Each structure stands twice: as structure tokens, then as C-alpha cells.
Amino acid sequence: MKPTIDRPRATIRRSALLAALVGLAAFSASAQQAVLPAPQGVLGLNASASVEVAKDLLTITFTATREGTDAATVQTQLKQALDAALAEARKAARPEQVEVQTGNFSLYPRYAAKGAINGWQGTAELVVQGRDMAAISQLSGRISTMTIGRVNYGLSREATQKVEAEVAAQAIKRFQAQATEMARHFGYQEATVREVNVQTNEVGSIPIAPKTYMRAAAAQMDEALPVEAGKSTVTATVSGTVQMK
């Protein structure tokens, strides 16, 4: 006669044994990590490089503000001003050289002292951006239904990518040279990279205060906007650790 087997109890015993083995393996791994010696001859460094480059991108934001007692009337006036400016801007539009897009369009109530609505006010924006600064400057004088709200100079995507690659290469070379020099000062012959991080950023794209240009636009709408892009500084920073040998 074959002996009977209590299957639930056997299953419980197997599960308990498996859990014990997993726990033992985890404990063994953690114990090995605990006794590993701390890395020796590891040096943290950072190096940077900067390149000054002429800004090649001009962005002008045109704005229109209307107000009145009727919301529909104010909205219609804003649409008319935007449509006229957009029609003029589209004549000069060229890919990457002069690009046109509509911006913020908002309409909100104006309240009296007691909290009741006594009118409506709204704003509309048209954004013109591109690398042909002369064409954009001339366009700003032909748009008569909106005023210039903001002017900003910066770097185009192509210029940014080219400069970032150049400045990053310079920073990496400085990092490598610094690692080799420091290793020798510590009595080692060479240094190899353990981990490294490269970051780039642009400094100098500051919007021009709008009030100056709004006054000029009000005085003579057919006059082109004077442009002077200036320069921007692109900086790359390389940080990380090296293993001295």
C-alpha cells in the first residue's frame, strides 16, 4: 500500500525553502558588496569652454489691444487687426528666413468698482521670426494695424547645433588634458574616464523692452525697425570622474 502525501503541507514546505534560499542569496550579495573596498585613485573634475557668436535670429511679436462695451465688437476689431497684419506678413514669408504665426488671442471682461461688468478688453498677437533680419525689419514698418510688443534676438537651430558641437569639443579636450595633468601630479601615469556629463547653454538672448519700440511705431508706422542683433555666448561644461592609474 502506497503512503499518502499531504500535498498542501508539501507545497508550503517547498515555498518556505525557496524563500529561504532567495533570502540567503540576497544576504550573500549584500555582504559581498559591504566588504568591497572603496574605489581608489578616483578624481572628480569639471572643465568648461565658451564661444561668442553673432545672433542670427530675430523675433518680433506684434500686438493689438481693443476695448469697448460689447464683447462681440471688441473680438471683431481684434480679428480685423490681426487679419490685416497677417495678410501683410504672409507676403514676406519664406521658410526659415521669415516665418509667421499667430500668438495669444484673449478677450476678458472689465469690472466696475461694485463688481459689475462695464466693458470688455482684448489682445491679439502676431509673431514673426527668421534669419532675414532686414526683411523682418522692413515688414515691421508695413504692419499698421498692430504695434511692436516684444523684440528678441537669438541663435537659430542650425547655428546653435554648430556652435554647441564646437564648444563641447573644446570643453572635452580641456577635461582630458586636466585629467592627465592632475593624475601626474598625484603620482599616476594616466587617467581613464569613469563617468562624464556634458552640458551646453546659451547666454545673452534677452528680450528688448517693448515700450521704446511701441512709441516709435506710433510716431511713424512706415519706418523700418532698426536692428542690431549683437552677440551671444554659448558655454559647454564637462563634469565627471576619472580613474587614475
Q: Same structural domain for residues 109 and 131?
A: yes
Please indicate, yes or no, if residue 5 is contained in any of the structural domains: no
Q: What predicted TM-score, i.e. pTM, was given to this entire model?
A: 0.68
Judge whether 101 lies within some domain.
yes
Q: What is the pLDDT of residue 178?
A: 94
Residues 130 and 211 in one domain: yes
Q: Is 34 domain-assigned?
A: no
Rounded CA separation 235/230 (Å): 17
* pLDDT value for 12: 55
**Cα 149 to Cα 147: distance, rounded to the nearest angstrom:** 6
Angle at 73 between CA 71 and CA 75, to 5 degrees: 70
Give the pLDDT of residue 212: 42
Q: Do 80 and 150 have their domain in common? A: yes
pLDDT in tens, 97-136: 999 999 999 999 999 888 889 999 999 999 999 999 999 9
One domain for residues 223 and 130: yes
pLDDT under 70 in the chain at which residues?
1-38, 204-222
Q: How many domains does the chain have?
A: 2
Same domain, 213 and 176: no
83 with 180, same domain: the answer is: no
Q: What is the DSSP string of 206-222?
A: -PBPHHHHHHHHHH-TT
Q: What is the pLDDT of residue 146?
A: 96
Number of Cβ atoms within 10 Å of the Cβ of 235: 17
Whole-number pLDDT of residue 206: 46
Average pLDDT score, the chain: 83
Q: What per-residue confidence (pLDDT) applies to 208?
A: 44
What's the CA gap between 167 and 215, in Å, rounded? 40
At 211 the pLDDT is: 40
Domain membership of residue 93 as a residue range? 55-155+206-230
Clarify whether residues 75 and 111 are in a common domain: yes
Q: Are residues 182 and 142 in the same domain?
A: no
Kindly state whether residues 96 and 178 are assigned to the same domain: no
